[in-house]
Structure 1
Amino acid sequence: MISPEQVAEMLYSASTTSKPGPFPTVVPTPTEYQLAGETGHRTLWVLFVAMTITTAVFTLLSWNVPVSRRLYHVTTTLMALVSALAYFAMAAGHASSLSCHAVRDPHRHGIPDTFHDACRQVYWARYIDWLLANGLLLLNLCLLAGIDGAHTLMALVAHTVGVLAGLFAAFGKEHTAQKWGWFTISCLGYLFVVWHVGLHGTRAVQTKGARMSKLWASLAIYSLAILAAYPIAWGITTLARKSDVNTEIIVFAVLDILTKPIFGLWLLISHRSIAESNIDLAGYWSQGLSSEGRIRIGEEE
């Protein structure tokens, strides 16, 4: 027979074991920072030195060239100089900002999901470099082929739109139509560049002889292929964030080496041996554009 004391003890133990336990707590995830490391910083300084040396070399190559024939020397030197300044700004840490977006942290057992910020370092000086230096590269191709001013201007405008759209996309919100919309506009800008430079340049250069056509075709195919690699690498690294910042820096450093020092040296060496590539600007440097055909008010015939 069970005593009353045993019944009370059983009821007490049952009541204590049926008490609900404490609710699980959620520790918030701290802000995630994707920044350049030691490898990235070293790469930026190496590129600054490389672009500075390239600027000096291009300057020395123009030393014995007449002023009237220094057009390509001036443009290639400015390409390297702009890139050197941009890399100095990035290496010194004065040309980058953080692009942040919210990342969802899923939880189980009916606990609501939480969010944390992921902030990636974006070097905005890189876009200034691309806008100016790569714009000079396209100008060289247009001048070399003899493309008319209208198509040259449109090619440079399309290039400007493409670079600015890329900058807006880099700071756009993650996984939004706005961000990838800017990316699409940037790609369309590149296609317009190919249209104005590639198509019209092929037609214009044919009047300058076989040697000039061969040189221009080689430079154009090389340059436009490298420029096409920029939005591909940029979409994978900066927009999709499939790589760390160090890898992004190295990838763009390689592309910048291909578009500034190598292209510039190739152009200057080949330019010396082909007379058809010369553009005589003696009159323009000293007197400006020709005044023939201007209408002067107040003059009598």
Structure 2
Amino acid sequence: MMLERRNHALQDNPSIFKGQVADISITRRGSDWYWTVCAIMTVSTLAFLGLAFMRPRSNRIFHYITAGITMVAAVAYFSMGSNLGWTPIAVEFHRSEHIVRGTYREIFYVRYIDWFVTTPLILMDLFLTAGMPWPTILWVVLVDWVMVVSFLVGTLVESQYKWGYFAFGCAALFYILYQLVWEGRRHANALGNDVGRVFLASGSVILITWICYPICWGVSEGGNVIAPDSEAIFYGILDILSKPVFGALLILGHWNIDPARLGLRIRDFDENPAVHGGFTEKKETNGAGGVTNGTNGHTNGHTNGATATAPTETPAETV
């Protein structure tokens, strides 16, 4: 009862967009659930950042990426909890059930903005764990953007052509899952059993949840089968599993893994570059000693005069 009295989002931001009423929209219960997920995402962000400060700065790459995922999701769920970031779209399938009866359904486009940012970060978490080459990572990220944009455009199309975009999105998704299950797993196992276990645990969460996203799309934005409140619960559970739960498994698994093993050697500013293969200034001597090269730590036997020969005296002239 206290939450109901405090949540005035639907009164402050009614389901009316440019004079068009979304008669299939969330209720206060749906708004309350969105606020709950927003709180979970916010607390997860703070937790991941707190864990980052327990590690050296050069070992925080996965903490920052994962915190970025939940931070962006928190903003998206704040918007949806406030009943913002949506547009009314005429449904293709009209239902007689009271909970989905109507013509215009509330479509939260802010959810797809969230996915456009966070799903590449999730893939980077996994593929960097597996030590995948950068060209492959960039290509998979591009395919991921095709998937997200296809699903977004499909939600905004009112006719049956939305299912064409749905097919493009599913095709892109299946290619991404292939890269995870086959290529990523092989690369991770090659780096060691501990890396393989982290990739398997966190990757399995993404594999299962991402398969469920098109199902949720099909029964909510696509087919208008379930109510927006049920859509909120469905998507919210999937997002909690694929973001905070996934992030916790990944970060805890990386706790004793040096990022350098994954090809992610990051030198901090206060480290001694001579120890880690950096560059130092050349130390020269004026005598016959050597010049120290900080790049490889070897001493080259150069002199300031001619190389490898001593200077000769000019014979005096005979008077």
Aligned to 1:232: 215
2:162 is equivalent to residue 172 of structure 1: no
Q: Given the superposition, is the C-alpha separation of residues 40 and 154 from structure 1 closer, same or farther in structure 2, using an over 3 Å criterion?
A: same
Alpha carbons 1:155, 1:197 under 8 Å: kept: no
Q: Distance in 2 between matches of 1:149 and 1:103?
A: 43
Q: Which has the higher helix share?
A: 1
- One-letter amino acid of the structure 2 residue matched with residue 162 of structure 1: M
Gaps of 5+ in 1: 1-30, 106-115, 293-301
Local SS of the residue matching 1:242 = coil
Tell me, in whole angstroms, the C-alpha distance in 1 between the residues paired with 2:94 and 2:110: 31
| Distance in 2 between residues matched to 1:272 and 1:119, nearest whole Å | 48
Counterpart Cα distance in 1 of 2:179 and 2:93: 41
* Structure 2 partner of 1:16: none
Q: What is the Cα deviation at residue 231 of structure 1?
A: 1.0
Provide the residue aligned with 2:246 in structure 1. 263
Of 122, 125, 150, which aligns to 2:135? 150
Aligned length: 248
What displacement does 1:262 show? Answer: 0.5
Given candidates 236, 240, 255, the residue that maps to 1:272 is 255
1:123-134 superposed matches below 5 A? 123-134=108-119
Deviates more, 1:80-89 or 1:94-103: 94-103
2:26 aligned with 1:36:
yes
Stretches of structure 2 lacking an aligned partner (at least 5 in a row): 1-20, 96-100, 279-294, 296-319
Q: Deviations over 1:228-287 (max 9, x none)?
A: 111111111110011000000011000010011111111111111334468322269x99
| Alignment partner, residue 82 of structure 2 | 92
How far apart are residue 32 of structure 1 and its match?
7.5
In structure 2, relative to structure 1, the CA distance for the partners of 1:156 and 1:188 (3 Å cut) is same
Q: Does 1:189 align with 2:172?
A: yes
2: CA distance between counterparts of 1:216 and 1:32? 42
Query: Alignment partner of 1:65: what SS?
Result: coil
Out of 173, 193, 203, the position equivalent to 2:186 is 203
Query: Aligned residue for 2:206?
Result: 223
| Aligned residues with identical type, % of pairs | 25
Match of 2:267 in 1: 282
Give SS of 1:226's match.
helix
Alpha carbons of structure 1 residues 187 and 66: separation in structure 2 relative to 1, 3 Å:
same
SS in 1 for 2:65: helix
Change (3 A) 1:51 1:102: closer
**Contact between 1:103 and 1:117, CA under 8 Å: does it hold in 2?**
no
Instruction: Give the aligned residue type for 2:157.
Output: G
Contact 1:102 1:117 survives alignment (8 Å) = no
Partner of 2:290 in structure 1? none
Taking structure 1 as reference, are residues 195 and 104 closer, same or farther at Cα in structure 2, changes over 3 Å only? closer
Match of 1:7 in 2: none
1:183-218 CA distance string (max 9 Å, x none) = 000001101212333322122223211222122122
Q: TM-score, normalised by structure 1?
A: 0.76
Give the equivalent residue in structure 1 for 2:5: none
- CA shift for structure 1 position 101: 4.3
- 1:65 correspondence with 2:65: no
**8 A contact 1:151–1:196 mirrored in 2:** no
TM-score, length-normalised on structure 2? Answer: 0.72
Verify the 8 A CA contact 1:134 1:259 in the aligned structure 2.
Answer: no
CA contact (8 A) 1:205 1:213 kept: yes
Structure of higher CA gyration radius: 1
Once residues 93 and 244 of structure 2 are traced to their aligned partners in structure 1, the CA distance between those partners, rounded to angstroms, is: 40
Q: Which structure has more RCO (C-alpha within 8 Å, separation ≥ 6)?
A: 1
Matching residue of 1:51: 41
Cα RMSD between the aligned structures? 2.8
Structure 1 residues 267 and 100, CA, compared in 2 at 3 Å: closer, same or farther?
same
Q: Distance in 2 between matches of 1:237 and 1:117?
A: 14
SS in 2 for 1:227: helix
Q: In the aligned structure 1, how far is the partner of 2:247 from the partner of 2:93?
A: 43
One-letter amino acid of the structure 1 residue matched with residue 227 of structure 2:
D
